[in-house]
């Protein structure tokens, strides 16, 4: 494996405490202002620059110890991933740029978007290694991510409308709403203050100390304090007119919900105390915090987001006592959220490489609670389904590595950052982490694993009680290496081989097996193979358990798997019986009677199972006769074995299979989910046996027997859902029957009449539970009966006609219309009936019974409709786009994905488009156009820069549509290498625009610093420059202290920082001139930047004033808000505004440039262009010589800076000394208050000569 270059990612300081104060929140303008104060200890005496994270915040002022103002730079390369490259459109290029951009601002790599340069007055403090306080005043206006405002457009006050806001984020995304060190590895204590309107309540992390009203009693400030060291990503905020409920069973727990929902809140949270008691008893450890808060908000980012001492839930999880289905979902999520307080918030990951540990541990604990709450069968089925999902994903998409340290998978995305991975990958990642922790339970034993978890909690709690010191709080972070050490300390076992196999590697073991019985030797000859060529396959070496059920009992055999193909022999404990009336003992200890007439008379083997306890990540294909699968289904008590049997029996459509499935459905002692799967399997078997099927349609007699009236079985009884198993079967059996087909591939007429009668006789008047899910299931069942229309719908001059519909279809359409109209008057819980009706209408359209028209679905997909209904409408629209190939509807859908206010709906609609794409890479489709390519590229490159989940989702869609290579619908760019195989020649357009790297800019800054006096006031030492940039301009950024020596035109390495500084401008300070250059490596032009003296300025040269500078801007890019452009349309104020009225609002059109504000001792920088002067000729020659030497200097990889490689440095210094008085005013590109640099680069305009082109 290729070794990665070593990167010094040691952060040169440690945070001990942070204060976050939000002084005002404006719901109408969706903005807030505040300040943060970071108390930090330097870790080295020569600390000069401090990098922190802040994205889309407008920073007004940075102050050190409330005394000295500090200059700062802002650079966020993630705003535009692929900069300056107009030709590249392949995902591999995007992946490399994306990882480089994230690495350039990742706090774990000692980077950040904001670089603060400490004033010289603070240098003695650094030399003495004394603590300092950094205060940052900021505001946030119309945020695109991190904070979400929900302000319903109805009459009334904010409180009456239920207006509220809350923070959210994908992994570590706190930088989106306040400046911080946005990493889990930097815990500290917190003081949190939030000033809100009188009727609002602010809920945040930690203990509520006090609430103080303002003198006018119109506002109040909530003061929270979190003494337990916590990382910035685990800090959250929710503000709204919440109703408050203190948990009656645990007074430390408080629940918050929106107005008028307190009744359902009380029922939903009534069991929560059980999870606390279970975890504390299981871990032998107290809950690590002094309080816990649950906040239910609308339009949440995910269903549940856990933070320190609080969790933000979706309001859709609330339910009354009449709802059955939602109870299971909500309890799982709440139990997992409490477990994440132990592992995730209190004990956090050291880095992204260690994310599998807290995620796996939290889900492992919650799975144990679910096992206690819902039973062992539900737990084992969940584990089995997770195992299938992981194996299926790795088999289709590729390997999944839990700890990606030093390793990349062959994916279209990088797995080294949470902000670059696919959302689907992250979903399966959590499942695999749970499975690996569970495998570790089998390796260590349940008791020892719990002791290890207890040890982690004990060490973390001890560390949290200590005062700050260099590494005092390191035990509150867990990494793979520290986890191994603690396991060895507690158990004395070395599990390094286990970690190497399942954590550092990707893939699942793929086993293929069969056996034969040797009657003479009374042995089973077993053959097991591993398919190492399959995608996502892992070569497994280790023990494998095979369970064999014989006539005399069940026996386990463990074999050592070493080769790809292994043969074993198992000596049977029993012999074949001629008299087969004796009871058969099972592995559970019970004895049962079996009809053994179907089995081989000479064999005592009933069935075999591989890895029955699910101890491995494996995919097993096992071959055995159908009668063995039937025996296993009927008599094996393990639900995973029963599921495996059901899926295998789909391929054996025989009367014996029909009987086995029927017995399973009717067996009251069988787990209800197994019975539901058996219904679906029986429908498939019946369709395969349709020619020889006898009797009424499958399951009809069974249904009438279970749910029909005692006096007339044709009429269903009144609903009574007190038996939950019967309730779920009542929903499942009609759906399974709807999938039955005759020899003509249509649904049997008696089934359609039967389903319509279920609608007719449905009576829920005496049922204490709601029947909304049952009615929705009936509509789904009816839509499943729809088959392609023989006569399509007639569209006449009078309009659309349904006269040609069959009687059953017309009756079904009338039922759908009735249900939709009833839903508008009396909506049911979560609008489940409406969701099913939308799906049914789309089915009628798809099969030709109704004309294709997306307008109905667009009305249901509009913002303001309930979230589930919108997603159902989006699903119908996605299917419409694929079938009708409608480009306008596709554009509409992409607009909704990009701009819809509901963040989860945007993600959900995108996932639907990924699962059902309008075309594939090899398809010849009219939707496959270059405009679609540019639209998707722009979305993932720049438009969705504030939502990593959505950006990565667009990358997934791009991969599904075009693969990893350049889309075929695009023309070949002029800059590609063209191979002529006939003439054996190559041709390349060598026009490449070289870039001015960040190193060169900092070299010039450092040269200016060397000529600056070391004594004097701050105004003499550091010159503050304010830059005025209009919204149409693309801001110019400088990033600090990373060295990127690379040749232009070559692909940037993933580990290198992302810089693309190509300014095409001339000003009174910067002299930039494009200059054609010929070299042996290709043609291009250089951009020269140098500091001007008074003699070169426009005023002294006597030339007319230059026109205003217009920086190039992406042509299709929408204007960002005034805050997200971090000072794009504002100059540097000397202090932060005290109210939101001081914050300039975003203009509706192009705004005029604001006049630059000059602070004392500073001069405003006028960015203007001017015609070339005579003095530029010698300067051009000087830079040409310098460029020629630099070309040879950078042919090798730099690990350090060569000070001796600048022969013209002395000459530059002499020139600077002569221009020293003027140069001092422009020695620094730092801003005194607001950083006016907020884009990673300026894309260079192509020169006027047609011989050169920017690529």
Say what the pLDDT of residue 9 is: 53
Burial bucket for residue 354 (CB in 10 Å: 0-12, 13-18, 19+): buried
Return the sign of the alpha-carbon dihedral for residues 419, 421, 425, 430: negative
| pLDDT, tens digit, 9 for 90 and up, residues 277-310 | 999 999 999 999 999 999 999 999 999 999 999 9
Mean pLDDT of the region 607-630: 93
Q: How far apart are CA 386 and CA 432, in angstroms?
A: 8
| pLDDT, tens digit, 9 for 90 and up, residues 761-770 | 999 999 999 9
Higher pLDDT, 794 or 235: 235
Q: How far apart are CA 643 and CA 383, in angstroms?
A: 12
Mean pLDDT of the region 268-277: 96
Please choose, from the candidates 877, 973, 967, the residue with its C-alpha nearest in 3D space to the C-alpha of residue 931: 967
Element (H, E) at 765: none
Beta bridge mates, 517:
524
Lowest-pLDDT choice from 55-69, 467-481, 919-933, 967-981: 967-981
| pLDDT, tens digit, 9 for 90 and up, residues 1068-1119 | 333 333 334 343 433 333 333 333 333 343 333 344 443 333 333 333 333 3
Return the sign of the alpha-carbon dihedral for residues 1004, 1007, 1011, 1015: positive
Mean pLDDT of the region 857-861: 96
Say what the pLDDT of residue 1008 is: 56
Whether 1128 shows a pLDDT value over 70: the answer reads no
Say what the pLDDT of residue 1180 is: 43
Whether 1016 shows a pLDDT value over 80: the answer reads no
Say what the pLDDT of residue 715 is: 87
Say what the pLDDT of residue 793 is: 53
- The first and second tokens of residue 390, run together, are 């992981």
Residue-wise DSSP of 852-872: --SHHHHHHTSBTB-HHHHHH
Please choose, from the candidates 978, 988, 979, 895, the residue with its C-alpha nearest in 3D space to the C-alpha of residue 936: 895
- Identify the band that residue 779 occupies on the pLDDT scale cut at 50, 70 and 90: very high
Please choose, from the candidates 962, 1056, 1198, the residue with its C-alpha nearest in 3D space to the C-alpha of residue 109: 1056
DSSP state of 302: S
- Identify the band that residue 973 occupies on the pLDDT scale cut at 50, 70 and 90: low
Q: How far apart are CA 17 and CA 340, in angstroms?
A: 23
Say what the pLDDT of residue 376 is: 95
- The first and second tokens of residue 740, run together, are 């039955």
* 280, 263 Cβ separation under 8 angstroms: no
Q: How many helices (H) and strands (E) does the chain have?
A: 34, 37
Say what the pLDDT of residue 36 is: 97
Measured from the Cβ of residue 669, the count of other Cβ atoms closer than 10 Å reads: 5
Say what the pLDDT of residue 75 is: 93
- Identify the band that residue 984 occupies on the pLDDT scale cut at 50, 70 and 90: low
Element (H, E) at 597: none
Q: How far apart are CA 1136 and CA 1155, in angstroms?
A: 17
CA 1108-1109-1112 angle, to 5 degrees, is 140
Q: What is the mean pLDDT of the chain?
A: 80
Whether 792 shows a pLDDT value over 90: the answer reads no
Say what the pLDDT of residue 468 is: 79
Whether 771 shows a pLDDT value over 50: the answer reads yes
Rounded percentage of the chain residues whose pLDDT exceeds 70: 75
| pLDDT, tens digit, 9 for 90 and up, residues 109-166 | 889 999 999 999 999 999 999 999 999 999 999 999 999 999 999 998 999 999 999 9
Q: How far apart are CA 656 and CA 664, in angstroms?
A: 12
- Identify the band that residue 470 occupies on the pLDDT scale cut at 50, 70 and 90: low
Whether 1148 shows a pLDDT value over 80: the answer reads no
Say what the pLDDT of residue 1205 is: 44
Q: How far apart are CA 677 and CA 664, in angstroms?
A: 10
| pLDDT, tens digit, 9 for 90 and up, residues 664-684 | 999 999 999 999 999 999 999
Higher pLDDT, 885 or 1210: 885
Q: How far apart are CA 17 and CA 231, in angstroms?
A: 10
* 319, 327 Cβ separation under 8 angstroms: yes
Q: How far apart are CA 1144 and CA 567, in angstroms?
A: 77
* 1240, 83 Cβ separation under 8 angstroms: yes
Phi, psi of 197 (to 5 degrees): -65, 160
Q: How far apart are CA 537 and CA 404, in angstroms?
A: 17
Say what the pLDDT of residue 576 is: 72
Lowest-pLDDT choice from 381-395, 730-744, 1016-1030, 1201-1215: 1016-1030
Mean pLDDT of the region 1016-1032: 35
Mean pLDDT of the region 47-67: 94
The contacts of residue 824 (CB under 8 Å, 6+ apart) are none
Residue-wise DSSP of 199-217: T-EEEESSEEEEEEE-TTS
Say what the pLDDT of residue 600 is: 82
| pLDDT, tens digit, 9 for 90 and up, residues 472-504 | 899 999 999 999 999 999 999 999 999 999 999
Higher pLDDT, 1022 or 417: 417
Residue-wise DSSP of 412-439: SS-SSSTTTS-HHHHHHHHHHHHHHHHH
Q: Which residue in the block uniquely carries the two structure tokens 């008028």? A: 260
Beta pairing, strands 201-204 & 31-42: unpaired
* 130, 40 Cβ separation under 8 angstroms: no
Higher pLDDT, 374 or 1170: 374
Say what the pLDDT of residue 1225 is: 36
Return the sign of the alpha-carbon dihedral for residues 281, 286, 290, 295: negative
- Identify the band that residue 1201 occupies on the pLDDT scale cut at 50, 70 and 90: very low
Whether 461 shows a pLDDT value over 90: the answer reads yes
Mean pLDDT of the region 460-469: 89
Helix ranges (H only) for 183-297 are: 262-268, 272-283
Say what the pLDDT of residue 997 is: 44
* 782, 776 Cβ separation under 8 angstroms: no
């Amino acid at each position: 494996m290729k070794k990665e270059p070593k990167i010094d990612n040691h952060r040169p300081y440690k945070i001990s405490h942070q204060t976050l104060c939000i002084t005002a929140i404006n719901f109408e303008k969706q903005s807030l202002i505040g300040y943060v104060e970071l108390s930090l200890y330097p870790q080295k005496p020569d600390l000069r620059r401090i990098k922190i994270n802040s994205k889309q915040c407008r920073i007004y002022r940075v102050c050190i110890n409330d005394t000295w103002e500090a200059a700062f730079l802002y650079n966020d390369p993630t705003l535009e991933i692929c900069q300056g490259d107009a030709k590249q459109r392949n995902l591999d290029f995007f992946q490399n740029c994306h990882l480089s951009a994230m690495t350039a601002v990742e706090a774990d790599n000692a980077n950040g978007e904001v670089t603060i340069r400490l004033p010289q007055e603070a240098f003695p403090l650094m030399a003495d290694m004394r603590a300092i306080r950094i205060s940052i005043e900021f505001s946030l206006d119309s945020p695109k991510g991190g904070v979400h405002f929900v302000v319903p457009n109805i009459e009334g006050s904010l409180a009456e409308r239920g207006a509220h806001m809350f923070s959210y984020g994908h992994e570590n995304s706190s930088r989106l709403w306040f400046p911080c060190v946005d990493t889990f590895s930097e815990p500290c204590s917190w003081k949190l203050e939030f000033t809100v309107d009188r009727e609002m309540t602010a809920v945040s992390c930690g203990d509520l100390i006090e609430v103080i009203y303002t003198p006018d009693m119109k506002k109040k400030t909530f003061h929270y304090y979190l003494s337990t060291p916590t990382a910035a990503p685990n800090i959250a905020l929710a503000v709204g007119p919440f109703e408050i409920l203190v948990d009656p069973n645990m007074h430390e727990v408080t629940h918050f919900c929106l107005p008028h929902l307190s009744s359902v809140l009380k029922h939903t949270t009534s069991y929560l105390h059980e999870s606390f008691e279970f975890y504390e008893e299981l871990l032998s450890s107290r809950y690590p915090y002094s309080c816990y808060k649950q906040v239910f908000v609308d339009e949440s980012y995910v269903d549940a987001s856990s933070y320190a001492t609080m969790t933000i839930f979706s309001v859709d999880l609330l339910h009354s006592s009449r709802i059955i289905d939602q109870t299971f979902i909500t309890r799982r999520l709440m139990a997992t959220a409490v477990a994440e307080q132990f592992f995730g918030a209190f004990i956090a990951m050291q880095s992204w490489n260690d994310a599998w540990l807290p995620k796996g541990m939290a889900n492992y604990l919650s799975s144990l609670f679910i096992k206690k709450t819902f039973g062992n069968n539900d737990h084992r089925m969940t584990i089995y389904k997770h195992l299938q999902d992981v194996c299926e994903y790795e088999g289709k998409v590729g390997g999944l590595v839990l700890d990606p340290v030093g390793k990349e998978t062959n994916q279209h995305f990088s797995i080294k950052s949470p902000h670059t991975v696919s959302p689907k990958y992250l979903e399966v990642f959590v499942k695999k982490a749970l499975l690996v922790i569970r495998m570790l339970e089998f390796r260590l034993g349940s008791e020892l694993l719990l002791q290890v978890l207890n040890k982690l909690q004990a060490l973390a709690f001890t560390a949290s009680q200590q005062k700050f010191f260099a590494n005092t709080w390191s035990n509150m972070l867990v990494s793979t290496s520290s986890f191994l050490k603690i396991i060895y300390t507690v158990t004395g076992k070395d599990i390094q081989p286990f970690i190497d196999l399942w954590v550092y590697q990707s893939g699942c073991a793929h086993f293929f097996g069969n056996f034969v019985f040797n009657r003479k030797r009374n042995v089973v000859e077993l053959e097991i193979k591993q398919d190492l060529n399959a995608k996502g396959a892992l070569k497994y070496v280790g023990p494998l358990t095979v369970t064999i059920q014989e006539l005399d009992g069940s026996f386990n055999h463990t074999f050592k798997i070493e080769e790809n193909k292994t043969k074993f022999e198992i000596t049977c404990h029993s012999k074949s019986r001629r008299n087969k009336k004796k009871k058969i003992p099972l592995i559970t200890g019970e004895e049962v009677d079996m009809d053994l007439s179907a089995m081989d008379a000479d064999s005592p083997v009933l069935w075999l199972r591989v890895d029955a306890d699910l101890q491995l990540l494996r995919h097993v294909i096992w071959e055995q006769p159908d009668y063995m699968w039937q025996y296993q289904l009927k008599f094996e008590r393990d639900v995973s074995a029963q599921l495996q049997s059901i899926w295998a029996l789909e391929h054996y459509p025989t009367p014996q299979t029909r009987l086995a499935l029927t017995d399973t459905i009717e067996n009251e002692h069988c787990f209800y989910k197994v019975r539901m799967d058996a219904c679906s399997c029986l429908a498939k078997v019946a369709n395969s046996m349709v020619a020889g099927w006898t009797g009424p349609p499958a399951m009809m007699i069974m249904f009438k027997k279970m749910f029909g009236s005692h006096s007339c079985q044709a009429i269903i009884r009144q609903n009574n859902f007190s038996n939950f198993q019967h309730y779920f079967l009542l929903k499942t059996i009609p759906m399974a029957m709807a999938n039955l087909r005759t020899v003509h591939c249509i649904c049997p007429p008696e089934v359609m009449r039967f389903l319509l009668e279920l609608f007719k006789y449905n009576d829920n008047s005496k049922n204490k539970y709601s029947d909304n899910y049952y009615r929705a299931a009936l509509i789904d069942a009816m839509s499943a009966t729809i088959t392609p229309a023989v006569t399509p719908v007639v569209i006449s001059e009078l309009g659309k006609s349904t006269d040609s519909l069959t009687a059953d279809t017309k009756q079904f359409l009338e039922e759908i219309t009735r249900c939709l109209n009833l839903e508008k008057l009396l909506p049911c819980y979560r609008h489940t009936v409406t969701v099913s009706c939308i799906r049914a209408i789309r089915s009628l359209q798809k099969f030709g019974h109704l004309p294709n028209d997306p307008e109905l679905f667009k009305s249901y997909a509009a913002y303001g409709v309930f979230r589930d209904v919108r997603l159902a409408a989006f699903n119908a629209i996605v299917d419409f786009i694929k079938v009708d190939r409608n480009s306008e509807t596709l554009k509409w859908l992409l607009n909704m994905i990009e701009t819809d206010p509901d963040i989860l709906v945007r993600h959900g609609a995108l996932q639907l488009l990924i699962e059902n794409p309008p075309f594939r890479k090899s398809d010849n489709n009219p939707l496959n156009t270059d405009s679609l390519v540019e639209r998707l590229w722009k979305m993932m490159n720049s438009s969705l820069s504030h939502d990593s989940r959505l950006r990565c989702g667009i990358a997934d869609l791009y991969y599904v549509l075009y693969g990893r290579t350049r889309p075929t619908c695009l023309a070949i760019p002029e800059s590609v290498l063209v191979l002529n195989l006939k003439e054996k020649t190559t041709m390349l357009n060598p026009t490449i625009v070289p870039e001015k790297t960040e190193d060169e800019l900092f070299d010039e800054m450092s040269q200016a610093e060397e000529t600056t006096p070391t004594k004097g006031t701050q105004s003499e030492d550091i010159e503050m420059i304010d830059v005025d940039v209009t919204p149409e301009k693309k801001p110019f950024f400088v990033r600090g202290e990373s060295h990127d020596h690379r040749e232009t035109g070559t692909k940037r390495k993933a580990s290198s920082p992302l810089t693309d500084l190509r300014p095409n401008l001339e000003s009174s300070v910067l002299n930039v001139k494009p200059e054609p250059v010929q070299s042996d490596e290709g043609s291009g032009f250089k951009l020269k930047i140098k500091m001007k003296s008074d003699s070169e300025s426009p005023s002294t040269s006597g030339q007319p004033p230059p026109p205003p500078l217009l920086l190039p801007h992406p042509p299709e890019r929408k204007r960002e808000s005034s805050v997200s452009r971090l000072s794009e349309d504002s100059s540097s104020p000397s202090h932060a505004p005290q109210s939101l009225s001081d914050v300039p609002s975003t203009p509706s059109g192009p705004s005029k440039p604001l006049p630059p504000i000059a602070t004392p001792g500073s001069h405003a920088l006028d960015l203007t262009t001017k015609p070339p002067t005579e003095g530029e000729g010698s300067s051009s020659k000087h830079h040409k010589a310098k460029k020629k030497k630099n070309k040879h200097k950078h042919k090798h990889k730099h690990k350090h800076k060569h000070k001796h490689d600048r022969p013209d440095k002395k000459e530059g210094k002499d020139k600077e000394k002569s221009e020293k008085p003027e140069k001092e005013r422009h020695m620094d590109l730092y801003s005194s208050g607001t950083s006016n640099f907020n884009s990673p680069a300026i894309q260079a305009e192509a020169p006027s000569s047609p011989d050169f082109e920017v690529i």
